[in-house]
């Protein structure tokens, strides 16, 4: 995708209105979607909706048993807000409220399996889905001038603070953002997923709702990621105990499909030179070439590529991260959007495009 094509799809100049929630700097810039995004990039958004969004508002992950997840509903609601599509936002959140808001608190059940006798067999939540769901409501309140959306964001934020933020047993005075309300706190360790951490989202939700615990958790998370990335890639899952942090027992110890979101979220949060970004930049710099599949699962210490993919969403992610982590690069090699790819890389590509347009304009493709 060249620069002219990218700009015609994604909009060239972020025109920001007043944030209204007391944010400033990079956070304020990210709070509003690009003013002309709905006009210039509408075909891309329509392609995403056609491929992954049902008319009732259910976001479908066809590779995962046609399932829907709180993650997908949160991602979709945020995309709808960024593209100024109030109808899609209402449908996506309406479906989530009707089918996943079944726990009795402000959190969503993490998965819906269509055609099953019990389509929501597990009432546990996924905190990244809840975070993006809250973030979508915060931005929608501003985008669509609907302050009532902040009420739902507050419910999510309060429940996340109460159920998904705990003390870090490896570092006095720090907290950890849990992947879910249940099953991750043990007598001798706390298990967490570093890719569930999205600092910009946590801070914007904290400012808009007054739930300061999320902003503090974001600050602690950035420090945790810094320590984890000092010597190697950050893995998918980590455990924290009295002796420190290590790859989590019984979980993926690789830097795979989950951990690839870490540098994306850090770049989107304006942390382009964070060590967790730079570790991935070094991998991409030596492995990403035209016509060669992009790494998707990597052994953290050696950097050995265990799995790779030709899906353009992963190439777009690599293009953004490599450009953002460079001290001098202007323009990225982000490919054109392809709705034939699965939901997950397609959605990461949408996020990479938005992040480039809103936060790292130097990484808009040439």
Q: Model confidence over 101-129: pLDDT tens digits?
A: 999 999 999 999 999 999 999 999 999 99
255 strand-pairing partners: 298
Reported as a single tens digit per residue, the pLDDT across 42-77 is: 999 999 999 999 999 999 999 999 999 999 999 999
Instruction: For residue 350, give its domain range.
Output: 3-363
Tell me whether residue 117 is exposed, middle or buried, using C-beta atoms within 10 angstroms of its C-beta: 0 to 12, 13 to 18, 19 or more.
Answer: exposed
Residue 317 to residue 325: CA distance in whole angstroms: 12
The alpha carbon of residue 13 and the mean position of all alpha carbons in its chain are separated, in whole angstroms, by 23
CATH number for 41: 1.50.10.10
Radius of gyration (C-alpha) of the chain in whole angstroms? 19
Q: Would you say residue 345 has pLDDT above 70?
A: yes
Q: Alpha-carbon distance 133 to 77, whole Å?
A: 7
Three-point CA angle 206, 238, 275, nearest 5°: 70
Over 90: is that where the pLDDT of 35 sits?
A: no
pLDDT at 31: 39
Best CA proximity match to 52, nearest among 88, 85, 84, 83: 88
Report pTM. Answer: 0.91
Q: Which residues are CB-neighbours of 250 under 8 A, at least 6 positions away?
A: none
Question: For the chain, how many residues are written?
Answer: 366
Whole-number Å distance between alpha carbons of 345 and 52: 12
| pLDDT at residue number 11 | 33
CB within 8 A of 345, min separation 6: which ones? 309, 311, 312, 313, 314, 317
The proportion of the chain whose per-residue pLDDT surpasses 90, expressed as a percent, equals: 83
Cα separations in angstroms, 300 against 7, 209, 257: 35, 37, 13
Q: Do residues 298 and 328 make contact, with C-beta atoms less than 8 angstroms apart? A: no
What is the CA 331 to chain-centroid distance, rounded? Answer: 23
Q: How many domains does the chain have?
A: 1
Digit-coded pLDDT (tens) for 205-246: 999 999 999 999 999 999 999 999 999 999 999 999 999 999
Residue 301: φ, ψ to 5°: -75, -45
For 194-349, strand residue ranges (E) read 238-241, 244-247, 294-298, 305-309
Question: What's the pLDDT at 33?
Answer: 41
Tell me 181's DSSP state.
Answer: S
Distance CA 212, CA 221 (A): 14
pLDDT of 275: 98
Cβ count near 70 (within 10 Å): 26
pLDDT of residue 5: 47
DSSP symbol at 196: G
**How far apart (Å, rounded) are the C-alpha atoms in residues 318 and 31?**
24
pLDDT, tens digit, for every residue of 170-183? 999 999 999 999 99
């Amino acid at each position: 995708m060249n620069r002219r094509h990218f700009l015609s799809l994604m909009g060239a100049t972020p025109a920001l209105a007043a944030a209204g929630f007391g944010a400033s700097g990079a956070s304020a810039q990210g709070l509003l979607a690009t003013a002309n995004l709905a006009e210039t990039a509408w075909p891309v958004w329509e392609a995403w909706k056609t491929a992954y969004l049902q008319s009732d508002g259910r976001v479908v992950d066809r590779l995962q048993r046609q399932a829907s997840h709180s993650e997908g509903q949160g991602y979709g609601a945020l995309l709808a807000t960024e593209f100024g599509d109030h109808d899609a936002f209402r449908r996506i959140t309406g479906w989530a409220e009707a089918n996943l808001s079944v726990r009795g608190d402000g959190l969503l059940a993490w998965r819906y399996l269509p055609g099953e006798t019990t389509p929501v067999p597990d009432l546990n939540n996924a905190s990244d889905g809840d975070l993006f769901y809250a973030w979508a409501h915060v931005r929608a309140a501003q985008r669509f001038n609907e302050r009532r959306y902040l009420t739902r964001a507050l419910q999510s934020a309060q429940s996340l603070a109460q159920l998904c933020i705990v003390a870090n047993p490896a570092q006095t005075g720090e907290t950890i953002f849990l992947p879910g309300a249940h099953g991750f706190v043990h007598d001798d360790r706390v298990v967490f997923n570093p890719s569930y951490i999205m600092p910009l989202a946590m801070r914007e939700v904290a400012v808009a709702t007054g739930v300061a615990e999320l902003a503090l958790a974001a600050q602690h998370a950035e420090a945790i990621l810094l320590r984890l990335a000092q010597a190697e890639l950050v893995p998918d899952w980590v455990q924290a105990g009295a002796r420190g942090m290590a790859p989590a027992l019984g979980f993926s110890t690789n830097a795979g499909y989950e951990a690839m979101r870490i540098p994306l979220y850090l770049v989107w949060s304006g942390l382009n030179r964070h060590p967790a970004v730079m570790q991935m930049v070094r991998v991409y710099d030596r492995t990403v070439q035209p016509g060669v599949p992009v790494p998707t699962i990597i052994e953290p210490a050696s950097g050995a590529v265990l799995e790779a993919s030709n899906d353009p969403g992963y190439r777009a992610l690599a293009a953004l991260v490599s450009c953002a982590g460079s001290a001098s690069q202007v323009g990225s090699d982000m490919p054109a959007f392809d709705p034939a790819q699965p939901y997950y890389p397609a959605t990461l590509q949408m996020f990479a495009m938005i992040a480039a347009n809103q936060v790292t304009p130097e990484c808009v493709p040439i």
